[in-house]
A = this chain, B = another copy of it.
Amino acid sequence: MNKKEASTPIDIRQVKITDPFWGAVQETVRREVLPYQWEALNDRVPGAEPSFCMHNFRAAARLMERKTQPGFTEPGYTFRGFQTLPEDKEHPEADKFYGFVFQDSDFYKWVEAAAYSLSNHPDPELEGTVDGAIEIICAAQQESGYLDTYYILNGMDGAFTNLKDHHELYCLGHLIESAVAYYQATGKDKLLRAACRYADYVCQCFGPEEGKCKGYPGHEIAEMALVRLYEATGQEKYLDLSRFFLDQRGTSPNYFLEEEKRRAQKEGRPVPKDDSSHYAYYQAHKPVREQEEAVGHAVRAGYLYSGMADMSRLTGDKELLAACKRLWDNIVKKKLYITGGIGGTAVGEAFSYPYDLPNDTAYSETCAAISLAFFARRMLEISPSSEYADVMELSMYNTVVAGMALDGKSFFYVNPLEVSPAACKEDTRLEHVKTVRQKWFGCACCPPNIARIVSSAAAYAFTEREETLFTHLYMGSEITKEVEGIKLRLILESSIPWEGRAAMTVHTDAPAKCTLAFRLPGWCRAPAVTGPEGMERVEKEGYVYFTGIWRDGDRVELSLPMEVRLNAANPRVREDMGRVAVTRGPICYCMEQADNGENLHLLRLDPGAVNKAAISQIEICGQKMTSLELEGFRREQPEENAPLYAEYATPQESQACLKFIPYYAWANRGEGEMSVWVRI
């Protein structure tokens, strides 16, 4: 790593998003998602699965008042996905923990999203709600600093005995992320102090020193969160703990295996065999610096790689950076959906083997796409290169946004690239695929995760060094940046993702020397960028840099023509043989039954038609977006009782107009078929 190359995300308080696309998504989150999620966290949404998140904090807080602790007994799991649920859902017992073992994190994610929203939209009522909730959370914290309601309520003697599957360190990570965000947004440090106390306690318990626990998180995030806490507080111990977690992961003897052996012995179960490969799900099958293939649970992987990138940025650890680059390459070249999603298989919500990218059984979890954007931004922070921003853009404009309905009222956990509602009803292999977005999930990781990335979108669009501002995503904004004491106001106008024009205008009271850098998107064949006369202009790694003295009214204009493009997959992707996907600019398009009728698989695109594609506007749920019409053919459906097999004859086809809408907007007009890939 070259420290001179590194940049940091812009403080979102410096940015006012004016972008029609992202402005609308942020407004939806602010108006719909944040209030709704608060209700959900408090089990007040009729018909939705209860969360029990705030219930657990309240129960733990009451327990703290009484200063008594139960002895640890693992609560039984119910059938529905490892939750502990009350016998009567309407009347949970006041002292008991319910829901998933990681339920605390949902509150933290919500606070983090709320903090980002408050950064730009002061809202005393929302802030009051958060403050009140923080009181409860802090009241639940142990004197030691420990803070995880699962063990507080079920008995502290079990704490840190199942790092592999119980998410105490994951909850620590989310607590830190929310606490730093809320502190930065409001200046209030109560939650930050709680986060530091918990982190301090973990520092006491974990580390290379003799007698300390040699474990690490089963679900990663603490790694990158601790880096963030270090950057917010300057306390080296947090960086050290993060490094310890990274260094320790996957080393031999495998900690998770040792831990399992201990638990098995205690519980009289057969002791598991020595086989680290079982821990690939947790990316703990080998030391992180030796990992070459993105494997296991995709969200965990994305979070781990983000933490590795953070650490290499701060410490210049070249081996770690090389591992990040290898893993990045592996994802982008072998395991990435054209929608920016990752994690092809529902089994373990995980990366599948190289080039296994099924469309109908795809998992492509919303959170996994978010984690890929995290990883991409961190790689960008280390060294700006459009290869990272291209993928970040792909994830954010497609799968991340697809995770939420246009009205913000329902969500996808799984983001398939091909859906037949009839098949989803009948085929248990598609059990995980929903054809309409759900209101809330017992395992509600995705909705608050969408809220936090959407609310902080500016930090993905722009990063900065002292005298340089990078524009990675063309998100219309008003940005303030101080350079040598001079305050610049930079107005970015953008018609992306619908048209290929953008421009940045500088407003300043005094001339200022700095660099404005703009990404040349990979989807644009012939970008044309013009800056003010006399500026030094350099092109490097997919960015054009203008350096010089900027004066009021100086303007950079970008013409980034976006053609309708037919994409073919590498023929190693068996599922996509003989098919193409339609993109235009950063947007991946799909066909829906609402526009094209049933049996989308009978449609075929005329590859020559791409030059005659009709580009028009469509309004879905009150939101305007671009739709595309391309010429093609529709295979005739035989009569109802036609034989199953017949001698091959050239198929009877009629001319058809195939209509495509942005993938992120699918399933907003009722249930129906959808397909990203279309036969050619």
Q: Which of A33-41, A201-209, A345-353 contacts B (4 or more CB under 8 A)?
A: A345-353
Closest to A335 in B: B644
Which residues of A are at the interface with B, using a C-beta cutoff of 8 A? 332-334, 336, 338, 345, 347, 352-353, 355-356, 361, 420, 422-423, 426-429, 565-574, 577-578, 580-581, 599, 601-602, 607, 610, 635, 637-638, 641-651, 679-680
Can you list 18 A-B pairs, Cβ within 8 angstroms, ordered by A? A333-B641, A333-B644, A345-B429, A347-B429, A352-B427, A353-B427, A565-B647, A566-B647, A568-B645, A568-B647, A568-B651, A570-B644, A570-B646, A571-B651, A572-B637, A573-B644, A577-B601, A577-B679
Whether the pair B352, A679 counts as a contact (CB closer than 8 A) is no
Q: Which residues of B contact A607 (CB under 8 A)?
A: 648, 650
The residue that A570 contacts in the complex, of B638, B649, B650, with Cβ under 8 A, is B638
Q: Which residues of B contact A338 (CB under 8 A)?
A: 644-645
Q: If the complex has contacts A428-B345, A602-B571, are A422 and B645 also in contact, measured as CB distance less than 8 A?
A: no
Q: Which residues of B contact A336 (CB under 8 A)?
A: 644
Report the separation of the CA atoms of residues A646 and B522 in the bound assembly, to the nearest whole angstrom.
11
The residue that A574 contacts in the complex, of B570, B601, B647, with Cβ under 8 A, is B601
Whether the pair B334, A644 counts as a contact (CB closer than 8 A) is yes
Whether the pair A637, B345 counts as a contact (CB closer than 8 A) is no
Closest to A346 in B: B429
Supply 9 further A-B pairs (C-beta < 8 A) apart from A334-B644, A429-B429, A571-B651: A333-B642, A333-B643, A353-B423, A356-B423, A567-B648, A571-B637, A571-B638, A577-B601, A580-B648
Least Cβ–Cβ distance between A334 and chain B, in angstroms: 7
The residue that A648 contacts in the complex, of B345, B356, B599, B680, with Cβ under 8 A, is B680
Report the separation of the CA atoms of residues A306 and B57 in the bound assembly, to the nearest whole angstrom.
62
Q: Which residues of B contact A651 (CB under 8 A)?
A: 568, 571
Number of copies: 2
Q: Which residues of B contact A334 (CB under 8 A)?
A: 644
Report the separation of the CA atoms of residues A607 and B338 in the bound assembly, to the nearest whole angstrom.
31
Q: Which residues of B contact A332 (CB under 8 A)?
A: 644
Whether the pair A567, B422 counts as a contact (CB closer than 8 A) is no
Report the separation of the CA atoms of residues A602 and B347 in the bound assembly, to the nearest whole angstrom.
27
Whether the pair B570, A643 counts as a contact (CB closer than 8 A) is yes
Least Cβ–Cβ distance between A495 and chain B, in angstroms: 23
Q: Which residues of B contact A643 (CB under 8 A)?
A: 333, 570
Least Cβ–Cβ distance between A23 and chain B, in angstroms: 29
Whether the pair A645, B571 counts as a contact (CB closer than 8 A) is no
Q: Which residues of B contact A642 (CB under 8 A)?
A: 333, 570
Whether the pair A568, B646 counts as a contact (CB closer than 8 A) is yes
